[in-house]
Chain A
Amino acid sequence: MTVIPSIKSDYLGKLAEQGKRIDGRRFDEYRKIEIETHVVSKAEGSARVRIGNTQVLAGIKMDIGEPYSDSPNSGVMTTSAELVPLASPDFEAGPPGGRAIELARVVDRGIRESQIIDVDKLCVVPDEKVWMVFIDIHILDYDGNLFDTASLAALAALFSTKVPMDRFKPLFEKLKDTCPSINDYLQQHPTDYPLPLREPPISCTSVKFNNVVVFDPSLDEEEIAEGIGDVRSHGARLTVATDEKGHIRAMQKGLNGSFTKEEIQKAIKASIDNGNEIRQILYKSVGKK
């Protein structure tokens, strides 16, 4: 962990008491968000998202696999995240640790619970073959707020995804012998087609330190909240995923501090407002609406 000098920590704390942040943002204001899609040609879908200096690349690969026994006609999605050492001096190579796993599962929960992927439309042969959607998240440059950057990258990548009918032609030909019912699916989808999606949930993250709650935390703000160098800083993090109707789809509290009920309610409201703005940025970049 980089130890931010206690002078800076004190300074950010003092600013917070005056209602200010070091980069001049309001407490509920995001840094500049940039979204670029179709950045990896081999992937079925991909996107690079920047929030401030934080940069995340998400890639989607699809494969034909077997459905889960409790949902035999639904496609399958999995999300994984890697904190690769190129993104920060604090990331180490090796299998995903608690941090990467929490990140992947929070991104996964936002996407899964909002049912943005219409998994019922990803059935190829009922009970036997379905599409599996793999969302893989690579952190490229870490300057705070991985949760939102990663979630947004995953969403943008999903919107750019084409179901790879052509690439799987040989497999489909083989399947025709054993599963003749595949013909229905092939007739409906003769060629690559966009992944069937519903409205996207947007996840918004805030951290609490010195009894203020700030959205889209920078790395410095995150580290103060994490209490590096300060034993009882009581910093805490809250991620809230909301949909277009302003309904809550997923939440996750993190770090070793705590929130009051009022702080949580306020954070949810601000997440809905920020979510609506970010959703428009996402739509614009993927050419929707």
Chain B
Amino acid sequence: MKSDIKLIDGHGKRLDGRKADELRKIKIEAGVLHRADGSCYLEWGGNKVLAAVYGPREAIPKHTQNPLKAIVNARYNMASFSVEDRKRPGPDRRSVEISKVISEALERVILIEQFPRTMINVNIEVLDAEAGTRCAGLTAAGVALADAGIPMIDIPVACAAGKIDGHVVLDLGQKEDNFGDADLPLGLAPRINEVILLQMDGHLTMDEFNKAFELAHHGCLVVSEMQKKALLEKYESVVQPEEVVQDVQPEESE
């Protein structure tokens, strides 16, 4: 879509003041929901996303069971109030597609062969949306799966790069997504360094693609560290009280 909005100024600053290779502010919290086996709350710029993992549990309907592996059902869902014009509740074609590519990305990292005949449900709820929700969703799902203790070869992470006003930049914001030239969401298994999710729309030359790929790849690695930190924060604090209890035990016995 063409527009007269200038997305990047003469000094290389973007609409929200970010530099070309700068991420939006990200906050990740692991284990935020009581009932779920694992969960994650993630804020990424104006995106607010919750992910909850249930399973592995017996796959239903029964005919979906695979005797050799678990099936991974990611369900990406946008709240009706998360976008400018109210979205009709329930799955639309866009969310069905995103759910599919996220499920496939997760199947790559989960050790699905350890749980035959089961399903692992990964529910991703987008509560507030500001461009880049599929990357935020996959990133949150990765933390929630780790929080659920599901064995994985890698914690999946995602980040997008794109092109605005002819410049390749990291992590598009809302206006940059709407009026930019291209968007390249990238999902990564960081330890094996392989691409588990890749989509692109817009217009990129081969050189621009290489540059955008590098940026998104770099973004993934930065976010990956935040995921690990969030998990450590939760589980370090779980370990801490035990030590405290040991310290105060003599006092209690007195």
Interface residues of A in 87-105 (CB under 8 A from B): 98-99, 101-102, 104-105
CB of B166 to closest CB in A, whole Å: 13
Chain A: which residue is nearest B154 at the CB level?
A258
Q: Which residues of the partner chain B approach A112 to less than 8 Å between Cβ atoms?
A: 201
Q: What 7 A-B pairs come out closest when comparing CB atoms?
A: A258-B194, A256-B107, A251-B200, A253-B198, A231-B113, A98-B100, A256-B104
CB of A56 to closest CB in B, whole Å: 19
CB of A229 to closest CB in B, whole Å: 8
CB of A141 to closest CB in B, whole Å: 24
Q: Which residues of the partner chain A approach B97 to less than 8 Å between Cβ atoms?
A: 98, 101-102, 105
B198-A252 in contact (CB<8A): yes
Contacts A232-B113, A234-B108, A248-B209 given; indicate if A261 touches B195 (C-beta within 8 A). Answer: yes
A41 close to chain B: CB less than 8 A: no
Ordered by A's residue number, 30 sampled pairs between the chains whose C-beta atoms are within 8 Å are A98-B100, A101-B93, A101-B97, A104-B93, A105-B93, A105-B94, A109-B201, A113-B203, A234-B108, A238-B198, A246-B205, A247-B203, A247-B204, A248-B200, A250-B201, A250-B202, A252-B101, A252-B198, A252-B200, A256-B105, A258-B192, A258-B194, A259-B194, A260-B193, A264-B198, A264-B213, A265-B206, A265-B210, A268-B209, A272-B206
The answer, among A71, A238, A272, for a CB contact under 8 Å with B1, is A71
Q: Which residues of the partner chain B approach A238 to less than 8 Å between Cβ atoms?
A: 198
B213-A261 in contact (CB<8A): yes
Q: How far is the CA of A264 from the CA of B195 in the complex (A)?
A: 9
A31 close to chain B: CB less than 8 A: no
B112 close to chain A: CB less than 8 A: yes
Q: Which of under 10, 10 to 19, 20 to 34, or 35 or more describes the interface residues of A?
A: 35 or more
Q: How far is the CA of A104 from the CA of B94 in the complex (A)?
A: 11
Contacts A113-B203, A251-B199, A264-B198 given; indicate if A98 touches B108 (C-beta within 8 A). Answer: no
Q: Which residues of the partner chain B approach A269 to less than 8 Å between Cβ atoms?
A: 206
Interface residues of A in 124-163 (CB under 8 A from B): none
Q: Which residues of the partner chain A approach B113 to less than 8 Å between Cβ atoms?
A: 231-232
A38 close to chain B: CB less than 8 A: no
- Per-residue CB contact flags for chain B residues 166-204 toward chain A (1 = under 8 Å, else 0) read 000000000000000000100001001111111111111
B218 close to chain A: CB less than 8 A: no
Q: Which residues of the partner chain B approach A256 to less than 8 Å between Cβ atoms?
A: 103-105, 107-108
The answer, among A105, A253, A261, for a CB contact under 8 Å with B197, is A253
A33 close to chain B: CB less than 8 A: no
A77 close to chain B: CB less than 8 A: no
CB of B65 to closest CB in A, whole Å: 13
A255 close to chain B: CB less than 8 A: yes
Q: Which residues of the partner chain B approach A258 to less than 8 Å between Cβ atoms?
A: 108, 189, 192, 194-196
A254 close to chain B: CB less than 8 A: yes
Contacts A113-B201, A253-B197, A253-B198 given; indicate if A102 touches B213 (C-beta within 8 A). Answer: no
Interface residues of B in 94-132 (CB under 8 A from A): 94, 96-97, 99-101, 103-105, 107-108, 112-113
Q: Which residues of the partner chain B approach A231 to less than 8 Å between Cβ atoms?
A: 68-69, 112-113
CB of B128 to closest CB in A, whole Å: 21
The answer, among B1, B103, B194, B203, for a CB contact under 8 Å with A260, is B194
Chain A: which residue is nearest B204 at the CB level?
A248
Q: Which residues of the partner chain B approach A246 to less than 8 Å between Cβ atoms?
A: 205-206
Q: How far is the CA of A143 from the CA of B170 in the complex (A)?
A: 39
CB of A82 to closest CB in B, whole Å: 13
CB of A130 to closest CB in B, whole Å: 15
A279 close to chain B: CB less than 8 A: no
B217 close to chain A: CB less than 8 A: yes
The answer, among B107, B198, B201, B204, for a CB contact under 8 Å with A259, is B198
Q: Which residues of the partner chain B approach A249 to less than 8 Å between Cβ atoms?
A: 201-203
Q: Which residues of the partner chain B approach A232 to less than 8 Å between Cβ atoms?
A: 112-113
A164 close to chain B: CB less than 8 A: no
A257 close to chain B: CB less than 8 A: yes
B199-A252 in contact (CB<8A): yes
B101-A253 in contact (CB<8A): yes
The answer, among A102, A109, A253, A268, for a CB contact under 8 Å with B195, is A253
Q: Which residues of the partner chain A approach B192 to less than 8 Å between Cβ atoms?
A: 258
Q: Which residues of the partner chain B approach A251 to less than 8 Å between Cβ atoms?
A: 184, 198-200
Q: Which residues of the partner chain B approach A257 to less than 8 Å between Cβ atoms?
A: 108
Q: Which residues of the partner chain A approach B99 to less than 8 Å between Cβ atoms?
A: 98
Q: Which residues of the partner chain B approach A261 to less than 8 Å between Cβ atoms?
A: 195, 213, 217
